[in-house]
Chain A
């Protein structure tokens, strides 16, 4: 995208610091880095380009208004934005009030998504891991994640017992975790 991509996390910190002092150029920089992550997540959840663009706008504006909501010591900005976006999009999809205040969203250290190349590699790897999962496990995870379904709704839809649904979802997350550890 850009001819010379800056280094990952340290520039994220510099950009967020810029936001805190009201630097609009820092906002442009962060948008250029992460708009595709945010938009892709929103579009996947909502399935509608206009709605996805609205969520994109909302997420970055929230970041502009409350840059201190993101704690750089605990997770990468890209992953944090992806989580916020997914939550906002699900809330919009399901027409519910936000359950979690954005300040409450803390991630442990997660992959650095600042560089396009890194992001594509990670995306490929995740798709591979998902492809290798048992179909029932993958679909339970995706129903919870992309459709914001509760465990009772998933159980009702699949006809599986609640306990099975719970086990599948946790096991699916553990598979992802192990694939990216070390």
Chain B
């Protein structure tokens, strides 16, 4: 824990839910990436639980027991007749094992999603070009428009803000910040999807960089995570045909930067 002494007091407050606002968000962001501090929070909660014991002594009224058991019996029989249970369930009553409030991700396998997405993105670009081309025969244009609409339907759940997103991780593992870049070099087409990104201070944003096989990193778009930590970059302007060795993320001011500011937060090369 020595290297995290700076966090020690904030972690104690966090464990008691006595930390609020930006401080809380900052610690939550740190905890998402630090197992040692998560363990300390658990220990602190255990220490705090001892305080709960100093309240020992009072006994609940007798009737409370039967009230609970009656409620349990009602729920058990409602669960046994599922068709009925939808209507008898009160609004606002959580259902058994209801889903957690985290962000969720993707329905398709990543490979399938990637292929569809990059094709969709490149068609978007192509469609924009086609619309400007006077030489397009109307039938070709109609066909492209049809294809475009088709692919937009497929890409919508992946890119629309209202989409439900799922991150699946091994049990008992908190989701980590994650980014996926899909790049089609011959079309200079890039789609980037991020989730579980820690919140940023005001007027800051994450910037994506394409690291070429030679030369300086190329700015590839700026994004801010939404309330769930998800963000995306779709088809930023890029020089034609650049071969990508890797992609990386840094934090910059929200207007973006022409050169990356250290440290590099996340990085990856091809799968």
User: Which residues of A line the B interface, CB within 8 A?
Assistant: 22, 24, 27-28, 31-32, 35-41, 43-44, 49, 52-53, 56-57, 60-62, 64-66, 68, 71, 74-75, 79-80, 82-83, 85-87, 90, 99-101, 103, 105-111, 113, 119-120, 122-123, 126-127, 130, 141-142, 144-146, 148-152, 154, 166-167, 169-170, 173-174, 176-177, 180
Contact = CB atoms under 8 A, between A and B. Distances in A.
Contacts, number: 182
Given A35-B64, A180-B50, A170 B19 contact: no
A80 B11 CA distance: 19
A109 B96 CA distance: 27
B46 A107 contact: yes
A40 B8 CA distance: 30
A135 B53 CA distance: 19
B101 interface: yes
A18 to B, nearest CB: 12
Contact of A150 (B20, B42, B61, B96): B20
Interface stretch (B67-75, B201-209, B232-240): B67-75
A57 B50 contact: no
Contacts of B55: 40-41, 43-44
Q: How large is the interface on B (under 10, 10 to 19, 20 to 34, 35 or more residues)?
A: 35 or more
B58 A36 contact: yes
B16 A144 contact: yes
Contact of A24 (B9, B49, B72): B72
A39 B17 contact: no
Contacts of A82: 49, 52-53
B94 interface: yes
A74 B56 contact: no
Contacts of A27: 68-69, 72
